[in-house]
Amino acid sequence: MSIAPTRMIERTKRRQPAVEREACVVEVHEHSPPTLFHSGEQFRLERLPVGSRIVYPPPPLKGLIDVDAAICAALDSPLGMDPLDSLLRPGMKLTIAFDDISLPLPPMKLPDIRGRVIEHVLERAYRAGVEDIHLIAALALHRRMTPAELKRAVGARVFDEFYPDRLYNHDAEDPTEIVDLGQTRHGEAVELSKRAAESDLLVYVNINIVSMDGGHKSVAVGLGTYNSVKAHHNVHTMRHSKSFMDPNKSELHNSANRQGDIVEAAVPIFHIETTLNNDMFDGPLSFLAKPEARWTAREQTTFAALKRTTDRMHPKLRRAAFHKSTAPYSITGVQAGAVGPVHEVTLDHVAAQQAVYVKGQADIVTAGLPYVGPYNVDSILNPILVMCMGLGYFFNLYQGVPLVREGGVMIFTHPVTREFHPVHHPSYVDFYEEVLATTTDPVEIEARFEKSYAEDEWYRHLYRTSYAYHGVHPFYMWYWGAHGLQHLGDVIFVGGNAEACRRLGFRRADTMRDALEMAEQVVGRDPSLTHFHCPPLFYAQVEA
Amino acid sequence: MLALPDDVLIQQRLAGQTVLLTGASGFLGKAVLGQLLRELPDTRVILLLRGDAQQRLENEILTSGPCEGLDGSRVQTVSGDLGREGLELPAGIDVVIHCAASVSFEQPLDEALELNAKGPSRLLEAVRAAGSDPYFIHVSTAYAAGMRTGLVLEKPSGTAPTEPWLDLNAELDAAQAWRKDIEAESRLPQHQHRFVAEATRAIGPAGGPAVGTRAEILRYEWVREQLTERGRERARALGWSDTYGLSKALGERTIITKNPKHLTIVRPAIVESALHTPYAGWMESLKVADPIMLGYGAGIIPGRFGANRSIRIDIIPVDFVANACLVAAAHPPDEVRVFNVSTGMRNPFTIHDLAEMTTRYFRERPLPDEDGLPVSVPEWRFTSAGNILTKIERANSVLAKGRELVDKLPIPRSNDVELRLHKNQRKLDRLKRLNEIYRPYGELDCVFDDRNARALLDNLHPDDRERFGFDVDEIDWDHYIGEVHLPALRKIAVPPAPGPKKTRSAGRRPAPEGPPALALFDVEGVVLDSTVAHFYAWLRTRDMPELDKLVWTAGAATKVPSWIIEDRRSRTAFNRNFYKLYKDLPARELKRQAEEALPDFIQPRIQNEAVRRIREHKRRGDRVILITSALDFLVEPLQHLADEVHAAKLIERVGRFTGELAEPPLTADGRASLAARLAADHDVDLKDCHAYGDSLADLPLLELVGHPHAINPDFRLSREARRRRWPIETWGTERAAV
């Protein structure tokens, strides 16, 4: 098999979509309506002080009209690689790895793009006479996907044919199915799924929803082990990834790229990346993505009804209802080929949908945390995931400099209840009760506790045979927020549970007004305030 | 009458003399010793104490209130027991102050007679055998006079014409015979059955040996109760209120017959906290009248007490009695002298006054109840004793019915109901006891004459009156009860207020200490919030359609009460019977289904604190062992949590379960012996082992190890755990969230 030398596709001059989005940054004036804040499975309307800025997400891009044609085109004319057909031959070992349940958020309406891409790949493989095909959910240290979830991701046809012998979850703790690929020049260990590493071709099917995902991170991390992941999932790297949503300035990505190079040297990777628009709210709820001032009378009524219902619903029913919802995403791009060039194009697509230019940092940034993050699909956003959501994701959704100035305050709305999913997050409970009760300092946590959790036999067993996140996973969630913890002067949760917020080391307030007063004690009187109106997902390109 | 002129001070009178003091570890004895050390520097003191006398002197006596800070170097000690023959004493004793006595009102007659009636003469004979003929001061009690009305003269027992004739040896023989009789009777089948039934009800699931031990304790208690009751009846038949008064009266009579050189019988009334020395309110434990005052303040006595309000209650501060003894020691009489140290004559204090002062005090300064909230005390009323006892009996029978009912009917929240019933029962028992003991005192309408005491006091040198005064006129009852005695009582009954506490316990519990050993965890109720029945229900219903599940559950629910009742009697029997449900079920099919147990059943029910604790034990090198009555294939995943799992195994025949267990169920003492064997196997000391259990079936195991932990205990285990001061913890699951 030959791999063609990298062919860079001539592309039209890059556009700078972010700066053309002045309309996404709106100033609050005397007559502005109250602002929508997500707060877990509830909603709040808060009046922000006059003069505050609200950064809204860009409107959803128009998706591809014929996704199948786009997939075919990508497979037939890949970037930096020969067409897929020419890479397939009878008797070869083919492995198809795909992104796990953590993407996209919320889950997309059927058909899932992963399944569509996989069907095209399989069709070509069959045509070429390939018989030895395995499908692996590249879930790294995430929880295993249930049969139903796998079926949803790959489609019923593929599932029925391959499950369970040839369609399975990656197991980072199976000593017999892991191969050591050596070290990078920085001494980072590279361990990979044996099946993937020993394949003649590894096809990776990705969904790119934030700029952190994709690229070399897909294979090196998704099919890696604790040993390889800990090379960059640590406090030092996270503090030097400013931000990890900006791959060019992210130590995390540099490290993953070095590992990716080692992997690529061992096994040829045919990388397929797909991008989605930010059409997250379906049908009658689509107004949630719009500025409040643009809500029609009918939408206002809908919102009032929605708020009343969710406020009065039993929490369990409410959670079930929210987690059943899916998003009507459209596909904005399908790219295939060598990892590097593919990812570059993908990032352009992500930027086209998500980037908003914001001038200047604010003293205070507010944001409403929604009910779902990458690690609680069909589960519970426990306090540690809330921290990761706020300080890991929302804080890091910037390129350039953070939206909030150094020493500034972030105010989130979320109930922060002490609730854990007993099956999915067992190690989180212990992290909360044992580690956080001792300290909240990421460096100390890493030094004192990480190893014992990572190597715990019980957690390992739960990760391998049940549906539990790996024992070390809550640590990564905490490290995700390490940069934010270092940068911020204070973090306040409006409506947060007192005990839980205290345990996390944050403050809490009953109302936004109280929270703003508390924040003023940190940043001084008459602070500047920016509201990050997410979801739908986007990021701010901030110029100091 | 007095040999020396009155201007000689007590210090001079006793200078160079040797005083033998008994009962120095008691309330009055300590007060006497304190005065001896403080005021009489030239007098030698010998103490007769049980056990290691010198050590007790240093640890118990010299550190107590009256002797604190005083030089005890001139105190000599002798070890010996007055309750037995063969006492040996040093020579050269001039004065004996005999304070040693058993002061319990609930003592079997033989024990009381042995110490209180035979003790004094035994002591005198021992002193004489050592070559001295001392002046004997016998501390008796005003109540040795028996149940009299009107004026009680200061005459030794047996000298009034109407007093019954008593034969100490006959009484003692009879009392000892009772003991034999009752011991034998308690072993008769009808009594044994009762003890075993009650023990089974209390700790049945803890297994045979535990039930046996408990039944034996009940038998012992019953024997003692019977003996006390008979003693009391005998004393009352002879005209005394209890064995205490009777034995003291016999003591007086026997000591007189021994004809000591000089004899003074000091008869104090109800001795209570000190008024002056060593300090106002000195008292170390509850005295005669205190349980009533305290019981009232704590809201246990519901404002009703069987007594007559105008009766004088004769209370005397302890330092007055101690002084009286020393004054008597310095003034040997020519013939037998008896004097009452009492207040009824000159400074009367009635039950009505006591009730009023106590009510006022506890209204102004209420005691905290079990929850730390102030008790609001009712008006203290008096009725006849019979009336009260009838009411108590009635309440008792209602409670007994209630407990029986709870025992038979497994009702929801039965733990709470049982706890409440138990608390009420305890309250009632206490009330009943108090009423029974004190009934005669509440109706004892007499006044103790104190002419002799007065004469002694009037003869004292003014300096001695200052130092050794016992003039009861000076007692201001309002001051003594309200400012001295009740605050002293409070100090004993209420633990000192703790300092400010941190409101949130952020810190983790410290890790267990000691060398690594075994950590044994019960699974049901400790590691998992479930029972063997839950496992079964899950296994049977997991593949059923919703409707079938509903029908099946309804069918199973009808059996639950009988299971609960059976489990309360014996965990072993329950397990055996329960596993019969598995009869004829396909083994392989069930085992296949059990593979899903981890996410579906085990994880949601796991109590995470258990996982953390297991990890903690592993970290410090303990071997973690899980013991469960659940089936091996269901708890298979727990292998990864612990080093060893001991589970139940069903017998299989041609692919189906027979419903029989391969080995006896691992419950109660089976768990304890397993633990003992494992400890021996791994060569560790059971004292270093930890065990975690949630029910009485774990009691033998918990009792065996050095570090027991009661986790979410049911009412019965929590009662046992509290009694043994085991740590009790509440663990939970995360199931509520999903």
pLDDT digits (tens, 9 = 90+) for A266-304: 999 999 999 999 999 887 888 998 999 999 999 999 999
- Cα A259 from chain centroid (whole Å): 20
Reported as a single tens digit per residue, the pLDDT across A86-129 is 999 999 999 999 999 988 988 999 899 999 999 999 999 999 99
CA distance A380 to chain B (A): 8
Instruction: Please tell me if residue A438 touches chain B, with a CB cutoff of 8 Å.
Output: yes
Instruction: Please tell me if residue B598 touches chain A, with a CB cutoff of 8 Å.
Output: yes
The whole-angstrom separation of Cα B509 and Cα A252 is 37
Instruction: Answer whether residue B227 is part of any domain.
Output: no
Instruction: Please list every residue in chain B whose beta carbon sits closer than 8 Å to the beta carbon of residue A464.
Output: none
B408 versus A506: the higher-pLDDT residue is: A506
Instruction: Please tell me if residue A423 touches chain B, with a CB cutoff of 8 Å.
Output: yes
Which residues lie below 8 Å from residue A210, measured CB to CB, with a gap of 6+? A245, A350, A354, A393, A397, A537, A539
**What would the mean pLDDT of A412-429 be, rounded to a whole number?**
95
3-state secondary structure labels for all residues of A350-413 = HHHHHEEEEECCEEEEEEECECCCCCCCCCCCCHHHHHHHHHHHHHHCEEECCCEEEEEEEEEE
B506 versus A310: the higher-pLDDT residue is: A310
Q: Which residue in A319, A419, A457 has the most chain B C-beta atoms within 10 A of its own C-beta, making it the best mutation to test that interface? A: A457
A129-138 b/e with 16+ CB inside 10 Å = b? ebeebbbbbb
Instruction: Please list every residue in chain B whose beta carbon sits closer than 8 Å to the beta carbon of residue A437.
Output: 506-508
Contact B603 A426 (CB under 8 A): yes
Torsion of CA B689, B695, B696, B699, to 10 degrees: 0
Bridge-based pairing of strands A490-494 and A398-400 is unpaired
Q: Which two tokens stand for residue A29?
A: 């004036």
Flag whether pLDDT at B3 surpasses 50.
no
Of B508, B603, B733, the CB nearest to A434: B508
**What would the mean pLDDT of A421-428 be, rounded to a whole number?**
94
Q: Which residue in B503, B521, B734 has the most chain A C-beta atoms within 10 A of its own C-beta, making it the best mutation to test that interface? A: B734
CATH architecture for segment(s) A78-276: 3-Layer(aba) Sandwich (3.40)
Highest mean pLDDT among A510-519, B114-123, B227-236, B661-670: A510-519
Of A466, A499, A502, the CB nearest to B599: A466
Q: Which two tokens stand for residue B547?
A: 């409707």
Instruction: Specify the pLDDT at position A6.
Output: 37
Of B506, B612, B640, the CB nearest to A461: B640
Query: Domain segments of chain A: what residues?
Result: 18-60+352-543, 78-276
Instruction: Please list every residue in chain A whose beta carbon sits closer than 8 Å to the beta carbon of residue B738.
Output: 316, 380, 421-423
Q: Which two tokens stand for residue A235?
A: 């406090």
Instruction: Please tell me if residue B738 touches chain A, with a CB cutoff of 8 Å.
Output: yes
Instruction: Specify the pLDDT at position A2.
Output: 34
Percent of chain A with pLDDT over 70: 97
Reported as a single tens digit per residue, the pLDDT across B549-561 is 889 888 888 888 8
Instruction: Please list every residue in chain B whose beta carbon sits closer than 8 Å to the beta carbon of residue A465.
Output: 598, 637
Instruction: Please list every residue in chain A whose beta carbon sits closer than 8 Å to the beta carbon of residue B734.
Output: 419-422, 429
Flag whether pLDDT at A3 surpasses 50.
no
Instruction: Please tell me if residue A157 touches chain B, with a CB cutoff of 8 Å.
Output: no
DSSP string, B609-625: HHHHHHHHHHHTTPEEE
Reported as a single tens digit per residue, the pLDDT across A432-444 is 999 999 999 999 9
Of A430, A438, A466, the CB nearest to B611: A430
Residue ranges making up the domain that contains B725: 518-737
Contact A422 B734 (CB under 8 A): yes
Instruction: Specify the pLDDT at position B269.
Output: 87
Pick the residue from chain B with its C-alpha nearest to A460: B640
Instruction: Specify the pLDDT at position A4.
Output: 36
Contact B599 A434 (CB under 8 A): no
Instruction: Answer whether residue B530 is part of any domain.
Output: yes
Instruction: Please tell me if residue A439 touches chain B, with a CB cutoff of 8 Å.
Output: no
Instruction: Please tell me if residue A462 touches chain B, with a CB cutoff of 8 Å.
Output: yes
Q: Model confidence at A207, in pLDDT bands (50, 70, 90)?
A: very high
Instruction: Please tell me if residue A317 touches chain B, with a CB cutoff of 8 Å.
Output: no
Contact A426 B737 (CB under 8 A): no
CA distance B613 to chain A (A): 10
CA distance B648 to chain A (A): 22
Reported as a single tens digit per residue, the pLDDT across B49-67 is 888 888 888 888 888 888 8
Instruction: Please tell me if residue B637 touches chain A, with a CB cutoff of 8 Å.
Output: yes
A506 versus B533: the higher-pLDDT residue is: A506
Q: How far is CA A390 from CA A521, B210, B531, in A?
A: 21, 56, 40
Pick the residue from chain A with its C-alpha nearest to B642: A458
Instruction: Answer whether residue B77 is part of any domain.
Output: no
The whole-angstrom separation of Cα A413 and Cα A160 is 43
Pick the residue from chain B with its C-alpha nearest to A504: B506
Instruction: Please tell me if residue A457 touches chain B, with a CB cutoff of 8 Å.
Output: yes
Flag whether pLDDT at B142 surpasses 80.
yes
Reported as a single tens digit per residue, the pLDDT across A25-53 is 999 999 999 999 999 999 999 999 999 99
CA distance B545 to chain A (A): 18
Of B606, B611, B737, the CB nearest to A421: B737
Helical ranges in A411-511 per DSSP H: 426-430, 442-454, 457-465, 473-480, 482-487, 498-504
Reported as a single tens digit per residue, the pLDDT across B373-432 is 888 888 877 777 677 778 778 887 887 887 777 766 666 666 777 777 777 787 778 777
Q: Which of B143, B95, B349 is nearest to B247 (CA)?
A: B143
- Average pLDDT of chain B is 84
Question: Judging by beta carbons within 10 Å of its beta carbon (0-12, 13-18, 19+), is residue B674 exposed, middle or buried?
Answer: middle
Flag whether pLDDT at B154 surpasses 50.
yes
User: In this prediction, does ipTM exceed 0.90?
Assistant: no
Instruction: Answer whether residue B631 is part of any domain.
Output: yes
Contact B603 A457 (CB under 8 A): no
CA distance A416 to chain B (A): 13
Of B506, B603, B615, the CB nearest to A422: B603
Which element (helix H / strand E) includes A509?
strand A507-509
Q: Which two tokens stand for residue A203?
A: 């096809």
Percent of chain B with pLDDT over 90: 12
Contact B506 A437 (CB under 8 A): yes
Reported as a single tens digit per residue, the pLDDT across B216-250 is 999 999 999 899 888 888 888 888 888 888 888 88
Contact A434 B612 (CB under 8 A): yes
Flag whether pLDDT at B1 surpasses 50.
no
Instruction: Please tell me if residue B620 touches chain A, with a CB cutoff of 8 Å.
Output: no
Contact B604 A433 (CB under 8 A): no
Instruction: Specify the pLDDT at position B504.
Output: 63
Instruction: Answer whether residue B547 is part of any domain.
Output: yes
Contact B615 A437 (CB under 8 A): no
> How many domains, in total, are found in chain B?
1
Instruction: Please list every residue in chain A whose beta carbon sits closer than 8 Å to the beta carbon of residue B640.
Output: 457-458, 460-461
DSSP-derived 3-state class of residue B449: coil
Reported as a single tens digit per residue, the pLDDT across A123-152 is 999 999 999 999 999 999 999 999 999 999
Instruction: Specify the pLDDT at position A296.
Output: 93
- Average pLDDT of chain A is 92
Of A419, A438, A456, the CB nearest to B508: A438
Instruction: Specify the pLDDT at position B309.
Output: 77
Of A419, A462, A465, the CB nearest to B737: A419
Which range is least confidently modeled, A48-57, A531-540, B268-277, B377-386? B377-386
Q: Which residue in A380, A431, A462 has the most chain B C-beta atoms within 10 A of its own C-beta, making it the best mutation to test that interface? A: A462
Instruction: Please tell me if residue B626 touches chain A, with a CB cutoff of 8 Å.
Output: no
Contact A502 B637 (CB under 8 A): no
Flag whether pLDDT at B508 surpasses 60.
no
Reported as a single tens digit per residue, the pLDDT across B630-688 is 888 888 899 999 999 999 889 999 889 998 888 888 888 888 889 999 999 999 999 99
Instruction: Please list every residue in chain A whose beta carbon sits closer than 8 Å to the beta carbon of residue B609.
Output: 433
Instruction: Please tell me if residue B68 touches chain A, with a CB cutoff of 8 Å.
Output: no
The whole-angstrom separation of Cα B705 and Cα B622 is 14
Domain boundaries A18-60+352-543, CATH class: alpha beta
3-state secondary structure labels for all residues of A7-29 = CCCCCCCCCCCHHHCHHHEEECC
CATH number (domain holding residue B580) = 3.40.50.1000
Instruction: Specify the pLDDT at position B553.
Output: 87
CA distance A452 to chain B (A): 9
Flag whether pLDDT at A14 surpasses 70.
no
Pick the residue from chain B with its C-alpha nearest to A320: B738
Instruction: Specify the pLDDT at position A9.
Output: 41
- Cα B471 from chain centroid (whole Å): 36
Question: Judging by beta carbons within 10 Å of its beta carbon (0-12, 13-18, 19+), is residue A1 exposed, middle or buried?
Answer: exposed
Q: Which of A202, A223, A206 is nearest to A113 (CA)?
A: A206
The whole-angstrom separation of Cα A528 and Cα A511 is 19
